[in-house]
Structure formats: C-alpha cells, structure tokens
Amino acid sequence: MLRINDHFLELPGSYLFSEIARKVGAFKEEHPEAQLIRLGIGDVTRPLPEACIQAMHRAVDEMADSATFHGYGPERGYDFLIEAIIRNDFAPYGIEMDASEIFVSDGAKSDTGNIGDILHTDNRVCVTDPIYPVYIDSNVMAGRAGTLDKQGRWSRITYMPCTAENQFVPELPEQPVDLIYLCSPNNPTGTALTRKQLKRWVDYALEHDCLILFDAAYEAFIREEEVPHSIYEIEGARQCAIEFRSFSKTAGFTGVRCGYTVVPQDVCGRTRDGRREKLNPIWNRRQCTKFNGTSYITQRAAEAVYNPEGKQQVKATIDFYLENARIMREGLTEAGLTVYGGVNSPYLWLQTPQGVTSWEFFDRLLHQAHVVGTPGSGFGPSGEGYLRLTAFGNREDCIEAMKRIKNRI
C-alpha cells in the first residue's frame, strides 16, 4: 500500500495566512458593506519599476523571433544577471563573490524551504522566535522538528526568544545546534541585527561547526549604518553561512517571482563518516535535478533593477514604503500602542493591550476598525502578545487605517 509522508499531518491546522484569509472571508460574508484595509500579508502594492517593464517587453520580443528565442536556460541563472548581482549587491560592500556561488531562483521562500533537501534530518535546528513560518514548517515536513507541545514548541527545535525584554536580539543557544535560521531585517518583528550582534552568531557558528541560513530578503530597506546588508560583511561568514535574497519586496516581484541564493564554495558539511564536503556542488546538483531555472523574461527584468533607471525607481518604491512605515509608527504611537520596527524594515510589530491575546487583537482590529493584521502568535510562541502590520499598502489606506485604530480601538 502506498504510504504518505506522515510529517505533513503533524503540521497544526492550516498555514497562518490561509487561516487569516478564512477569517477575513467569513467577516466579509457577514459584513459585505465593510471597507477593509489589508495590512496583514506582506504583499506589495506599487507597480513594477518602469525599467523592469521595458526589459520584459524587450525579452518578450526576443522570444517571438527564432533567432533570439531562449528555451531552457542554465539552472543557476544567466550570466548577465549573476554578474549584475555580484557587481551591485556585494562589490560595493567589499565582498568578493564568484559566479559559481550565485543561484538564481523563483524566490527566497522556495529556497529557504528547499535548502533542507541537502541537509540530514538529524540536524538540530535553532530558530529565533518569533519567526517566518516557512522555516519551521519546512523542517516539520522533513521530519526534523519532533513533536509539538501545548505551548506551540517543537521538541527537536531550539527556540531563541526575541521580545521587548531583550530588545528583540536573540541570545546564543545554550545547547548544541547544527542549523541556525536568522532573518535581518526581521520578518515579522521589523527589527535588525547590528554588525556586532551578527558577528556573535558567525563566531558561534565557526566555533561549533554550525550552518547559518541567513534571510536577507529585506536588506534594501536598511537605513542605519551599523546594520549590515549581507552576512558576508562579517569576517568568517563565507565558511558558515548561506544567504537568501529576493526581488519581491524591493522591486515588486511578488507576482513575477525571482530571487537568488548564495552558497559560498567555502561552506561545508560533514558526511556520515565525518568527511567534510562542500555544500555548493550538492546544492547545484539538487537544483539541476529539481529546478529548470527562472524564466529568461523574468531574469531580464531582474537585471534591469541594477541599471541607473532601475536603481532610481526601486529606491523611490522603497522610500515610499518606508514613509508609510513612518506614518504608521507615529499613528500607532498616538493611539497609545507600543510599536517596534518600521525603520530598517516595512514591518511594524506592535504590542497588544494588556491581557489581550494576538488573535483577540486581530479580531478587534478586524471587527472594530476593519483593518487586517497578522497575529504575532502565528509566528511562534514568543509572538504571543504582538501583532504585525505591513507598510506595503497604499498611502491613503495606511493613513486611514491609523485614524480608524486611533478612534475605534
């Protein structure tokens, strides 16, 4: 008889954002006249940069001519995009990168979930808490998580709480771990690790032979000098870290789908007999087998992010979202709420009123202010008592949402 992967059945309920959609759908059915403002899911609202649109049009025209048509492309990505990535994302920070270390993909979410394919299921996972749900769920699916307790913690996962009490800076683990997930600027808290704070993690990983999976999807929002844009700005990180990048939130590619992963030639893991093996060729083998590459049209659009017009247009978009964040921070503070993030990130992380749970506050916002957020408890046990709002909305919606929260909550 055919057997299924039972680990999928261990996942609690539905995916967080599916549950939010269910609740919002039920509310809309009961109150069809309500004008909802959706600031929950981190989807963008600004159009693609004009430079990217023009590049896609040119690429489509190429696909219409047999002389310039592109079929299967290289699984790692086209050289023109990889070279642009190295020249613009790493060289300005003094980071040397080889083309063989860049893997273009259909987004950071896919790669952060898929990277576990090349890592043994016995690895002990360490996560900051709260955390992007994909990090946890993908390890549950792989069988690394163990069993779930009543507090929402998995028995084989080490949680590093990030709360207001520790300024959202995780402490190093006290027990042995093998695989560490870090996201900076952080989703969901909107806070970021400084160079000094990140160095502690790199030093720990080097000392204990761990692998850091570093999600830098929001690095383009960084505005403070002491916050590094890449983990490879930290000495030694090439020996212990894989970095994930995305064009989704920076250039609006949430519906286009493009990102990339950096796997340095220096980072290694051990085989069952203790030999050290490079992870780069193993990940390359995985991609060549399971992934046919990001489309030529999409990669031409991503390349255009780095031309002079593209850079200017992307910066304007990011500045727009950060201005939304500023408006929202001030509005939430005026409403008497305590709020974090929104400086180096498009996310605002606010404390719920005393004695009110994350889901209760979500319901209060939905029913009283007609504003959709994301309950913090959906991001992990330490997210209880918080709620996430995103600054990706239209300006008018962000302003109106703050008025509603101030007047109705």
The domain that holds 26 is classified in CATH as: 3.90.1150.10
Rounded mean pLDDT for each run of 10 residues along the chain, 409 residues in total: 95 79 93 94 93 98 98 96 98 98 97 97 97 95 95 95 96 96 98 98 98 98 98 98 97 97 98 96 98 97 98 98 98 97 97 96 97 95 97 96 95
What is the domain range of residue 132? 54-306
User: Of 291, 306, 321, which residue is a domain's last?
Assistant: 306
Residues 221 and 289 in one domain: yes
d(CA 263, CA 276): 15
Residue type, position 31, single letter: H
In this structure, the strands spanning 125-129 and 157-161 are parallel
Same domain as 337, residue 279: no
Instruction: List residues bridging with 126 in a β-sheet.
Output: 158, 180
In this prediction, residue 14 carries a pLDDT of 66
Residues 6 or more apart whose CB falls under 8 angstroms from that of 338 comprise 164, 350, 351
Q: Are residues 93 and 202 part of one domain? A: yes
Q: Which residue(s) pair with 351 in the sheet?
A: 386
Domain contains 33: yes
Q: Are residues 300 and 314 in the same domain?
A: no
173 cis-preceded (ω within 30 degrees of 0):
no
Runs of H (alpha helix) within 262-377: 279-290, 296-304, 308-334, 358-364
pLDDT at 326 (0 to 100)? 98
Q: Do 130 and 383 touch, CB atoms closer than 8 A? A: yes
Indicate whether 148 and 281 sit together in one domain. Answer: yes
What's residue 337's pLDDT?
97
Total domains in the chain come to 2
Can you give the pTM of this predicted structure? 0.96
